[in-house]
């Protein structure tokens, strides 16, 4: 029988869409029906299992799936030993301490002897003990932000991405104690054949992730300005330069980091570049 790799992905929630979009952008298609918990790709040896995110580390550990996409927070909270094979850099969030308005927060020490509600008792107790703070943990599985109002906790430690939910519940973010984003995890004892498939998958993921960080740019430039271009573009080895019909001008093509793009754009314009075209890159290798 053909070797296939099994991947566990969150069925529906904050990780689902981005996880599936990442896999699709690797040229791996599949049909997903929300009533069915499994799917298979006809174009790549990958089988999907759609489950709750909390269960992903255990499923991978048990070999129900070979790999999974999960928030680092869920992995750390589970305390299950898995290989983190890629940091996927989406679904970023932070675990923060939040306190009611008027609470004088001066650092974790302010929580000494207090009741802290959280859904992440393992992560929180590790951080508290590292900082030598003793507090009583109130473990709840959801709606952590109402625990102060209903009187069962003095402060909370919960995942935040914007902070709006906290504010709506009369809480203030006091300190970020831990950061998380999605990771791809793999079982530590995967057979060689499956590792090969994982290697192919990771190669595609890397190409997609690298491409997302870059822009392809194309522009015309007076030929005498060419020597100044490489100092603007920076790290690029050598841009491709093509002659134009008007021999005093050239066309230049190169790739720049997305985060440096606007700086480069402004400098190129100042140098006299014209007809600047900017394109997204679908896939690339270094």
Restricting to residues 110-169, which ones interact with ligand ATP according to CB under 6 A?
159-161
| 232: number of Cβ within 10 Å | 20
Minimum gap (Å) between residue 211 Cβ and ligand ATP: 24
Contact by Cβ (8 Å): 59, 68 = yes
Minimum gap (Å) between residue 120 Cβ and Zn ion: 11
Angle at alpha carbon of residue 196, lines to 193 and 200, rounded to 5°: 145
Stretch that binds ligand ATP, among 24-32, 51-59, 128-136, 204-212 (CB under 6 A): 51-59
Q: Residue 165: name the closest of 108, 116, 96 by CA.
A: 96
Instruction: Name the one residue in this structure whose structure tokens are 């650092």.
Output: 107
Write out the two tokens for 45.
Answer: 């040896």
Minimum gap (Å) between residue 131 Cβ and ligand ATP: 23
- Which of 41, 71, 118, 221 is in the footprint of ligand ATP by CB under 6 A? 71
Minimum gap (Å) between residue 84 Cβ and Zn ion: 19
Residue nearest to ligand ATP (CB): 71
- Which of 3, 13, 129, 258 is in the footprint of ligand ATP by CB under 6 A? 13
| 4: number of Cβ within 10 Å | 16
> How many chain residues bind Zn ion (CB under 5 A)?
2
Contact by Cβ (8 Å): 214, 255 = yes
Q: Residue numbers of the site for ligand ATP (CB under 6 A)?
A: 10, 13-15, 52-54, 71, 73-74, 91, 93, 159-161, 180
């Amino acid at each position: 029988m053909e070797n296939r790799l099994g991947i566990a992905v969150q069925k529906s929630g904050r990780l689902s869409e981005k996880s599936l979009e990442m896999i699709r952008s690797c040229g791996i298609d599949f049909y997903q029906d929300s009533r069915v918990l499994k799917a298979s790709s006809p174009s790549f040896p990958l089988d999907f299992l759609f489950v709750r995110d909390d269960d992903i580390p255990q499923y991978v550990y048990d070999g129900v799936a070979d790999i999974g996409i999960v928030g680092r927070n869920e992995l750390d909270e589970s305390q299950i030993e898995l290989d983190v094979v890629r940091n996927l850099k989406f679904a970023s969030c932070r675990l923060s301490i939040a306190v009611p308005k008027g609470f004088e927060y001066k650092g974790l020490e302010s929580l000494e002897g207090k009741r802290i509600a959280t859904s992440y008792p393992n992560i929180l107790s590790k951080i508290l003990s590292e900082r030598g703070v003793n507090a009583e943990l109130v473990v709840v599985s959801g709606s952590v932000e109402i625990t102060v109002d209903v009187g069962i906790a003095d402060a909370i430690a919960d995942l935040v991405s914007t902070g709006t939910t906290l504010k709506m519940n009369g809480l203030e973010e006091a300190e970020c104690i831990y950061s998380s984003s999605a990771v791809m995890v793999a079982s530590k004892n995967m057979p060689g054949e499956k590792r090969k498939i994982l290697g192919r998958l990771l190669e595609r993921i890397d190409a997609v992730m690298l491409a997302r960080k870059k822009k392809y740019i194309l522009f015309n430039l007076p030929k005498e300005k060419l020597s100044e271009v490489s100092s603007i573009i920076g790290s690029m080895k050598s841009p491709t330069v093509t002659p134009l019909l008007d021999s005093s001008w050239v066309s230049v093509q190169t790739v720049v980091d997305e985060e440096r793009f606007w700086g480069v754009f402004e400098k190129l314009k100042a140098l006299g570049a014209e007809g600047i075209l900017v394109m997204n890159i679908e896939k690339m290798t270094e």
